[in-house]
Amino acid sequence: MPKGRIRAKLRKSHLYTFCIYPGDVGKEGWSLGGPGFSRIVYCNEPQVHSQIPLKYRSNDISTTKYNFITFLPKALYEQFHRVANLYFLGCAIASLTPLSPFSAMSMIAPLTFVVGLSMAKEALEDWRRFMQDMEVNGRKVKVHTGEGAFGKKAWQDVQVGDVVRVEKDQFFPADLLLLSSNFEDGICYVETMNLDGETNLKAKRALEVTLDFDEDEDFKIFKGMIKCEDPNPSLYTFVGNFEYDGQVYALEPSQILLRDSKLRNTEFVYGIVIFTGHDSKVMQNSTNSPSKRSKIERKMDCIIYVLFSVLLVISLISSFGFAVEIKYSMPEWWFMRPQNPDNYYNPGKPVLSGLSHMVTALMLYGYLIPISLYVSIEVVKVLQASFINQDIQMYDEESGNTAQARTSNLNEELGQVDTILSDKTGTLTCNQMDFLTCSIAGTAYGSGSSDVELAAAQQMANDLEDKIELDTVVSSNSEKDHKSSIKGFNFEDTRLTNGNWLKEPKVERIMLFFRILAVCHTAIPELNKETGSYTYEAESPDEGAFLVAAREFGFEFFQRTQSSVFVREKYTASGKPVDREYKILNVLEFTSKRKRMTVIVRDEEGLILLMCKGADSIIFDRLSNDGRLYQQDTTRHLNGYGEAGLRTLALAYRKLEESEYSAWNTEFQKAKTSIGDDRDIQLEKAAEMMERDLFLIGATAVEDKLQKGVPKCIDKLAQAGLKLWVLTGDKMETAINIGYACSLLRQGMKQICIMANDADTKEEVKSDILKQINNGSQIIKEEKDPHAAFALIIDGKTLVYALEDDMKDHFLELGVRCASVICCRVSPKQKALVTRLVKQGTGKTILGIGDGANDVGMIQEADIGVGISGVEGMQAVMASDFSIAQFRFLERLLVVHGHWCYKRIAKMICYFFYKNIAFGLTLFYFEAFTGFSGQSVYDDWYMLLFNVVLTSLPVIALGVLEQDVSSQVCLEFPAIYQQGPRNLFFDWYRILAWMGNGLLASLIIFFLNIIIFYDQAFRADGQTSDMTALGTTMFTCIICSLNIQIALTTSHFTWIQHATIWGSIVAWYLFLSIYGALSPNISGNAYQILVEALAPAPIYWTTTLLVTMACSLPYMVLIAYQRCFKPLDHHILREIKYFRKDVEDQCMWTRERSKARQKTMIGFTARVDAKVRQVQRKGHKKQ
Amino acid sequence: MSSNTPSSSAGGVGSADSAAPRRNSKRPKYSKFTQQELPACKPILTPRWVISAFMLVSIVFIPIGVVSLFASRDVVEIIDRYETECVPENLRNNKVSFIQSDANKTCTRKLRVKKLMKQPIYVYYQLDNFYQNHRRYVKSRSDSQLKDNSSWNDVSSCKPEDMSNGQAIVPCGLIAWSLFNDTYNFSLNNQQLEVNKRGISWKSDRDSKFGNDVFPRNFQNGTLIGGKTLDPTVPLSKQEDLIVWMRTAALPTFRKLYGKIERDLQANETIHVTLENNYNTYSFNGKKKLVLSTTSWLGGKNDFLGIAYLTVGGLCFFLALSFTVVYLLKPRRLGDPSYLSWNRNPGGH
């Protein structure tokens, strides 16, 4: 056990001032044992919990929708929840009765196929969830098995009351009560990234009374009882008592280790299982992933309803007609034997006959409702999804992850996204800090200049007319970033590296600067035995970056003891490394309120030093008059760093006299030991007293490293007209920095910050916020400059109010008008709420993207949830609809795949309706000529094959392979993405036009055919046509017309399209000859129909040609007209590509590319443009 | 589903070649299909294409229209509507009772040949308002019984004309029961004109659908007599009137072939038709017509086809012309960037 090693070293509670102490018992408002607080846990006695009433839920989790037994009923229920499927089920049942106009097989087979396919898909998806659960349930953890022995157990076997031992970097298997850790004072560090997305470590602290149970053997005799609240989803509260040895101790959230968080920086902890499995807080938080449907599909439902009404209307007409015919004509039709009526044809009971005919009619005209549409869409989407999955350009070499379409039913929604809500950490940034530049004593060091500056400089050098390729600049820069070999350190300046700082003029100040970096922190060093260098476990990544930087500059922090920090100084005047010890007297911790951190140390010479680092504004307020020596220069540098999106901190120090310190220290100790509510305030006051008269020494700039390609991707997305909201749990400063780094913010952009003030009453706060929001809206309204852009920045505390019902609309309105919105310090719940607000408020399609468990709510709430895979934690990915390995792949996912899928599905659905209307209505017309009797002019087999074989493949090919423009053009002109959000291809005009086209086609097909065929001999032998001959000819016309129509619709012919379209027509003739060759028992009147009757008759062929041409004529005229007068962007781009104008006239091509993005407000390009404008304006002024 | 294709295929690779680094196994394989880069034809709708397409259609359609129209004009057709004329004038108030009575229904008609009719001349009867396509009627037949002697008993689909006197009817069903039974005898200059009733049905029907060992049995034996009776000694395959009748017509107005006159008829000749007006179309006010017609390669007289062709062809010609004019007057240069949306309405959207 390594515990002995560290154990003696640290007792941090002696140092820390602002740590959470076990608070006083005595909170009112709840009573243990009462409702909601009834849970009792007998520690170390899991056997007690195997019986009712103390039997709690087991620790195995299940996120599946079904199990083996419930799958069939539940999945069937889901399937027949769809109105269309229910209708088809009704039809299938009715087809077993004599009412059916078709054979039962032709109704049941397609339904079985559709439902079976969808259910298979469900089953597969559920199976994957099941496997995931199995993996989690099967994880091992050490559990006390009795007599002080610990054995490994699977997570699912862990019970309430078990004592578990969790080791470093393991996840907690359940919600635990922390008993002890390897640290003597029972502190442990926990990473809660999966819970709230925060990456900094959180300290948890055991009760004093259990501290001694820190060895396996100790648990032989351990007994205790916990009374606590019932399972609930609140992550940040816990109410309970711990009874031990006859004493009662109050429990606090700081003793609770939550499932799905991770033990860090701590060798091991012991804990008692309190909440297991679905009782645990994280599982209570999880919501069932809602099944999402795309806008197109919802609209499709509308169309289905419209068609249903049409179906109902024509069925009504049909049955009315039938009833009338039965009543008035049937008695006269002696050949129908009205004397021998049955229920369906009873002249005496026309109403009954009419009603039963209604059923027949509903089935007969069922072709208006394309059952195969669902199958086809399902097939198409799965294929589209497989294209997404297999796209090499969305494959991440580093993590080895491909993009994954986890649900395939949202593909087309990707093409209609209006707003992206993005998480920050792990999504935009890598959560890695690099020490980039610093300013010491008024001199700036470090050559890191930001991408924007580079690009702007380069652009201004060029003529404005032909803009340079920004992409190349950005990409070359980001490549450079990746060269940095030391994690956390990206500093290039030979004046400071390799000990060269010794030659700098202000060497003393520089040394002090580095010492502050090396001493002023709370990290713990760890020796990496392989490389021999130290790594640091810091509470925040910036701190880690500082320590790495200090190490690289020659100030290696290598040991921390209870009271001292040891730093090895590599470069000294003597040239020999020297180990220095700094006795730590006080640590004044960093909190978001204080925004600074201070240590007071005594160095080896006995000098007392106060070292402070913090936000520049805070530090500047506390400088002495002498200390402002470098303030001006430093401020200038800081502004530059801020603009470049770097995180800055100012460093300052102060020398203390012994007497001054001891005077203060007594005061401070008094405050520290005081009890009561004002303890914090007193401590604060004491700290204030000391942190003044500082001397500013410099500032650091740390780069919160963006993920690869993020600025470029955001730029492209902005050009595509997408809005980006950043929702982050981080501090406002960090969020703003990232805003700059991602070009969401830029200098000159008007920032509207909405912040709740510390007013007393809620009403005051609210009215204040409302005022701020209204002010913001006012400013935007009054702005005259067309290039002006606004940014809205709001924090979580304010959001609480802004999201309330009476305020949220104002907030939304303001947010929508701003070019970028940054919400900081938001909780997972708020992320989901903001998502819902934007989704419902704007009615547009919202995409949520994130990587952590804290984004799950947002991902589930958004219309499309995208998870970043490859980073820690799978929750986001599991909850997402699409997962990508890196944020930058979002560009391709949306602009290429989304755009294509949207158009494909839109075209496909339109065509589907067209085709079924064209076909279905001919049946209706024919009805009118058969006395509405429900006779179909086509053979059953024709109808069965119509949707399954003869017209389905081309439309699937269209749905899978159609491309309006190539992927390259999509990426070059993100602006054409706007066709999706504006829904140019699936608006009612287009849908109705297609339906009208279908109506026209049905009229042309039917009436031309019957006029040609009704009485005259159709061949030279004098025979007239019968129903089969007419039906077959008509059907031939339908097949030809529909396939020609899809050929006209398709704009991208690969061999597959050719094969399916022409193949379908050939397949029809092939089928007809095979069917005709079968015995007449099967083929009936269609026996030898093609070979004997139709093929030799010229009129059959001429009719087909005539009808086909007549059907396509309206569409041809329309598209010819449209291309001539109202070409759409993709038509023009296709033409440019086709005539290779982009190659011949590159100038025009680049000019158009830059014009296409003129309107973008955010992103890199916009920022460069703004910079150029700014410089130009300055130039004008000078002239 | 295919979403896990890469991983599952990768699993296969991994097990076969464990030396390969696992990381790369997830990398999608490059193929033109999966990367959606299949070579494709991306046609552009240029004005030239539009005009030539319309022009081509008109060039093809107008000649076809002309040829069809000529073919149709060559066909000579004599139509004689007789259902009223053949009822004695005093009985015309109640035609139904006349047709149901036992009165003599022989009737003579004179047909004048207007133009030379070349043989073969097809004789049709045309019925009107007769719903041979009614579902109850269409379904009332038994194909297996017609084809095969052994399944003579298979009359389940023939209701209500399935059994008579407890015996299965062959051929059963409403269609056969209501077989048309008017007969026509033609004479020219007092000379009998032979009407050939052989080969008026579809060959495949005679050969395969109506068995030569199936004889009418128990037919028209019930209380209700529908139409024609059949000679029980002649197999169904030879009963061509029945075969023709059994091919149910698609529309309530239809013609069916009655026979062929295999000699030319000169213009202005007069044919005397002696017809037995037996079939009851009076109860539903159906017309009956006797039609004599020649055929062309295209079939019977069918002006509509030619006219439709000419219309479509003409329309296309007109469209071709008008698009030519449009392109000349208001040309749009192909690939002209000024038509791009961001150039057309600056500031919009």
Whether residues A1014 and B254 touch (CB distance < 8 A) is answered with yes
Residue A478 has pLDDT above 50, yes or no: no
Evaluate if residue B180 carries a pLDDT over 80: yes
Query: Half-sphere exposure of residue A321, counting CA atoms within 13 Å on the CB side?
Result: 18
How many CB pairs lie under 8 A apart between chains A and B?
326
For residues A627-649, give the mean pLDDT: 83
Question: What is the dihedral sign for C-alpha B316, B319, B321, B327?
Answer: negative
List alpha helices for A1014-1054, DSSP H: 1027-1049
**Is the per-residue pLDDT at A199 higher than 70?**
no
What is the spatial distance between Cα A65 and Cα A289, in angstroms, rounded to a whole number? Answer: 10
Task: Name the band, by pLDDT with cuts 50, 70 and 90, for residue A476.
Answer: very low
Confidence category of residue A922, pLDDT binned at 50, 70, 90:
very high
SS3 A579: strand
Q: What integer pLDDT is reported at residue A127 of this predicted model?
A: 87
On chain B, the residues whose CB falls within 8 A of the CB of A1056 are 38
Interface test with B, best of A1003, A1010, A1023, A1030 (most B CBs within 10 A): A1023
> Of A60, A214, A423, A1142, which residue is the catalytic one?
A423
Reported as a single tens digit per residue, the pLDDT across A713-722 is: 888 888 888 8
- For chain A, percent of residues with pLDDT exceeding 70: 90
Q: Is the pLDDT of residue A15 over 70?
A: no
What residues in B contact A391, CB-CB < 8 Å?
A: 28, 34-35
Q: Both tokens of residue A79?
A: 């399937």
Residue B80's pLDDT is 93
Host H or E run for residue A648: strand A647-656
d(CA B275, CA B107): 5
Backbone angles phi, psi at A104, to 5 degrees: -60, -35
Phi, psi of B199 (to 5 degrees): 75, 20
Q: Quote the pLDDT of residue A458.
A: 53
Distances, alpha carbon B173 to alpha carbons A55, A101, A408, A473, B170, in Å: 74, 18, 53, 85, 9
Average pLDDT over residues A1125-1133: 87
Residue in chain B closest to A1152 (alpha carbons) equals B337
Binning chain A into helix, strand and coil, the percentages to the nearest 5 are 50, 15, 30
Give the chain A residue whose CA is nearest to the CA of B325: A1124
Partnered with residue A703 across adjacent β-strands are: A434
Helix (H) or strand (E) holding A633: helix A631-643
CA A626 to chain B, closest CA, distance in angstroms equals 55
Q: CA-CA distance, B12 to A506, in Å (whole number)?
A: 64
Residues sharing a CB contact under 8 Å with residue A669, sequence separation 6 or more, in sequence order: none
Pull the structure tokens for residue B114: 């207007």
Rounded-to-integer distance, Cα A571 and Cα A578, Å:
8
d(CA B22, CA A232): 41
Measured between beta carbons, the chain A residues lying within 8 angstroms of B23 are: 400
Q: So what's the pLDDT on residue A16?
A: 43
How would residue A485 be classed by pLDDT, with cut points 50, 70 and 90? low
CA gap A859, A882 in Å, rounded: 10
Model confidence pLDDT, tens digit, residues A656-701: 888 888 888 888 888 877 765 677 778 888 888 888 888 998 998 8
What pLDDT does residue A26 have? 39
Residue A267 has pLDDT above 90, yes or no: no
Asked if residue A646 lies in contact with residue A737, where contact means CB atoms within 8 angstroms, the answer is yes
Chain A contact for B50 (CB, 8 A cutoff): yes
Rounded Cα–Cα distance for residues A563 and A9 (Å): 9
For tokens 């106060």, the residue is A610
Contact A811, A778 (CB under 8 A): no
Q: A986, A1070, A881: which is closest to A298 by C-alpha? A: A986
Say what the pLDDT of residue A473 is: 44
CB contact under 8 A, B250 and A1124: no
| Burial of residue A364 (number of CB atoms within 10 Å: 0-12, 13-18, 19+) | buried
Q: Are A271 and A177 in contact (CB under 8 A)?
A: yes
C-alpha distance from B93 to closest chain A C-alpha (Å) = 17
**Residue A919: pLDDT above 80?**
yes
Instruction: Name the helix (H) or strand (E) containing B164.
Output: strand B163-164
Model confidence at A1113: pLDDT above 60: yes
Contact status, residue A868 vs residue A710, Cβ threshold 8 Å: no
Residue A1117, pLDDT > 70, answer yes
Judging contacts by C-beta atoms under 8 Å, the chain A residues touching residue B347 are 786
What pLDDT does A475 receive?
41
For chain A, the maximum distance between any two Cα atoms, rounded to a whole number of angstroms, is 128
Helix ranges, A1126-1162 (H) = 1129-1138, 1141-1144, 1146-1156
Residue B54 confidence class, pLDDT cut points 50, 70, 90: very high
Residue in A836, A826, A883 with CA at minimum distance from that of residue A858:
A836
Per-residue confidence (pLDDT) for residue A1037, from 0 to 100 = 95
Q: Is the pLDDT of residue A238 over 90?
A: no
Peptide bond into A53 cis (omega under 30): yes
Least confident window among A141-155, A214-228, A336-350, A913-927: A336-350
Angle between helix A104-137 and A371-389 (nearest 10): 30
Q: What is the pLDDT of chain B when averaged over all its residues?
A: 85
Checking phi first, is residue B36 left (phi over 0); if not, alpha (psi -120 to 50) or beta? left
Question: Which residues lie closer than 8 Å to A206 by C-beta, 6 or more apart?
Answer: A178, A179, A180, A181, A186, A187, A188, A255
Residues in chain A: 1183
Chain A nearest C-alpha distance from B50 (Å): 7
Q: What is the mean pLDDT of chain A?
A: 82
| Residue B310 pLDDT | 96
A1126, closest residue in chain B (CA to CA): B339
Q: If you write DSSP's letter for every residue of A839-894 in order, what string do you get? A: HHHH-SEEEEEE-SGGGHHHHHHSSEEEEE-SSS-SHHHHH-SEEESSTTHHHIII
Checking if the pLDDT of A936 tops 60, the result is yes
Residue A33's pLDDT is 59
Catalytic residue flag (residue A423): yes
Q: A32 falls in which pLDDT band (50, 70, 90)?
A: low
Q: Left (φ > 0), alpha (ψ -120 to 50) or beta: where does A473 sit? A: alpha
Alpha carbons A565 and A572: distance in angstroms, whole number: 19
Q: What average pLDDT score do residues A814-836 get?
A: 86
pLDDT value of residue A4: 39
pLDDT band at residue A460 using 50, 70 and 90 as cut-offs: low
Q: According to the 3-state scheme, what is the secondary structure of A14-52? A: HCECCCCCCCCCCCCCCCCCCCCCCEEEEECCHHHHHCC
Band (pLDDT 50/70/90 cuts) for residue A1159 is low
pTM of the model: 0.83
pLDDT(B22) > 70:
no
Distance from A1048 to chain B by nearest Cα, in Å? 10
* Chain B residues 57-116 with CB within 8 Å of chain A: 57, 61, 64, 68
**Which of B29, B160, B199 is closest, CB to CB, to A340?**
B160
Residue A341, both tokens: 């009526």
Least confident segment among A343-347, A1102-1106, A1112-1116, B232-236: A343-347
Quick one: which of A284, A264, A266 has its CA closest to A274? A284
In sequence order, the β-bridge partners of residue A753 are A793
CA distance B317 to B63: 13
| Residues of chain A above pLDDT 90, percent | 16
Q: Per DSSP, which regions of A1022-1106 are E strands? A: none
